[in-house]
């Protein structure tokens, strides 16, 4: 059930418990309560505060961001399915982190709830292979002024999102090593928790700036990028090569570096992805290459990729978005990429074997 109450929407979830989603919309695509296209005081609605946020994905990346937003006082609703919705509504969310723990009640809905309102910001934090379903799920919640912020691996999702939501899509990325425990807790185990947001070329960056302002008083490293596509490609270049080698050799950075040829294979993979990124118009700097190479070849390091963790657990993996896509781009530019080629073949064998079990 949806109703209006003091400029807020009240939505009854699947358990019958009512919760409030603060919104300054009176309905999808309409203006401010009382009519008109702007606030009564003439200020843009995004200037100085984030009004309400919908996050699709309560796993590591989305769950961590959601916890920190709620810690800062921003209203957050999670869009999930089945057992996850029930768990979130009944048990809430718990975050453990070296930068401070957080625990609290959360509000979760399903796509079937479909309230007559639009969120101001929709964050996509799903796996890339779930993107088509995610687009369908969030569509009812995206109004004329809603911004869509993807925090997915790779870059293939951007074109599809822009096609689905023209002028609404922002760029975003997360540098964080985080997992979800068996009981659904968000577990952050190191000192890396860096999120970057930005407008696409020619776009308005007020939403990213307000989002970063909202996170300014809680422990998270959040920033606005004036060149978000460059940063997304820099991450893609790194993660693609690193994920390819870790999934191929089935080990952490330290385990691979301890072998006779592991560090060289890692360097070769990163050189391959750097050549491809440059051919695509996104060259990476020497400083970036030095940093990611050092991180990827550090002896004793337990650093792994989410791709390897998914493969080790027997789950569906993002091999196509991280390795397959990069290899296809290499072929379009006639760039030799033997390490990526071998890794992608192994990942395809893994997926075919996994689906037959």
CATH number at residue 56: 3.40.50.720
- Please tell me which residue in 127, 147, 235, 250 is annotated as part of the active site: 235
Q: What is the mean pLDDT of residues 291-315?
A: 96
pLDDT for position 15: 35
50 and 151 co-located in one domain: yes
146 and 104 co-located in one domain: yes
144-156 confidence digits (pLDDT tens): 999 999 999 999 9
2 touches 9 (CB < 8 A): yes
Q: Of the residues 207, 226, 245, which one is the last residue of a structural domain?
A: 226
130 and 24 co-located in one domain: yes
Rounded to whole angstroms, the Cα distance separating 245 from 273 reads 12
Least confident of 19-23, 88-92, 141-145: 19-23
pLDDT for position 357: 81
Relative to beta strand 142-150, strand 76-79 is unpaired
pLDDT for position 88: 95
319 and 345 co-located in one domain: yes
pTM given for the model: 0.85
DSSP code per residue over 205-243: -HHHHHHHHHTTTSS-EEEE-TTHHHHHHHHHHHHHHHH
pLDDT for position 49: 61
CATH number at residue 282: 1.10.1040.10
197-219 confidence digits (pLDDT tens): 999 999 999 999 999 999 998 99
Three-class SS of residue 27? Answer: coil
76 and 160 co-located in one domain: yes
Q: What is the mean pLDDT of residues 249-264?
A: 98
97-109 confidence digits (pLDDT tens): 999 999 999 999 9
160 and 280 co-located in one domain: no
Residue 235 appears among annotated catalytic residues: yes
Range of the domain at 78: 2-226
231-252 confidence digits (pLDDT tens): 999 999 999 999 999 999 999 9
- CA nearest to 75, candidates 91, 90, 99, 55: 55
């Amino acid at each position: 059930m949806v109703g209006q109450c003091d400029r807020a929407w009240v939505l009854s979830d699947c358990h019958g418990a009512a919760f409030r989603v603060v919104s300054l919309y009176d309905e999808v695509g309409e203006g401010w309560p009382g009519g008109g296209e702007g606030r009564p005081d003439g200020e843009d609605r995004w200037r100085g505060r984030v009004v309400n946020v919908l996050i699709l994905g309560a796993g590591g990346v989305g769950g961590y961001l959601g916890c920190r937003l709620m810690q800062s006082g921003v209203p957050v609703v999670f869009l999930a399915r089945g057992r996850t919705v029930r768990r979130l509504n009944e048990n809430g969310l718990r975050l453990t982190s070296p930068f401070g723990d957080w625990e609290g009640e959360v509000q979760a809905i399903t796509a079937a709830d479909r309230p007559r309102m639009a969120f101001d910001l929709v964050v996509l934090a799903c796996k890339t292979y779930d993107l088509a379903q995610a687009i369908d799920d969030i569509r009812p919640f995206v109004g004329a002024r809603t911004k869509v912020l993807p925090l997915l691996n790779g870059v293939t999702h951007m074109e599809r999102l822009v096609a689905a939501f023209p002028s609404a899509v922002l760029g975003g990325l997360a540098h964080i090593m985080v997992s979800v425990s068996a009981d659904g807790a968000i577990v952050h185990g190191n000192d890396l928790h860096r999120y970057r947001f930005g407008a696409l070329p020619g776009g308005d960056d007020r939403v990213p700036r307000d989002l970063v302002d909202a996170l300014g008083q809680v422990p998270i490293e959040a920033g606005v990028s004036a060149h978000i596509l460059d940063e997304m490609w820099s991450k893609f270049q790194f993660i693609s090569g690193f994920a390819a080698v870790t999934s191929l050799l089935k080990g952490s950075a330290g385990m691979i570096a301890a072998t006779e040829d592991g560090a060289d294979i890692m360097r070769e993979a990163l050189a391959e992805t750097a050549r491809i990124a440059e051919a695509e118009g996104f060259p990476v700097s020497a400083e970036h290459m030095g940093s990611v190479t050092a991180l990827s070849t550090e002896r004793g390091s337990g650093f792994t990729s989410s791709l390897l963790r998914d493969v080790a657990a027997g789950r569906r993996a993002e091999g196509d978005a991280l390795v397959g896509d990069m290899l296809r781009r290499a072929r379009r530019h006639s760039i030799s990429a033997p390490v990526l080629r071998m890794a992608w073949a192994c990942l395809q064998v893994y997926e075919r074997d996994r689906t037959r079990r």
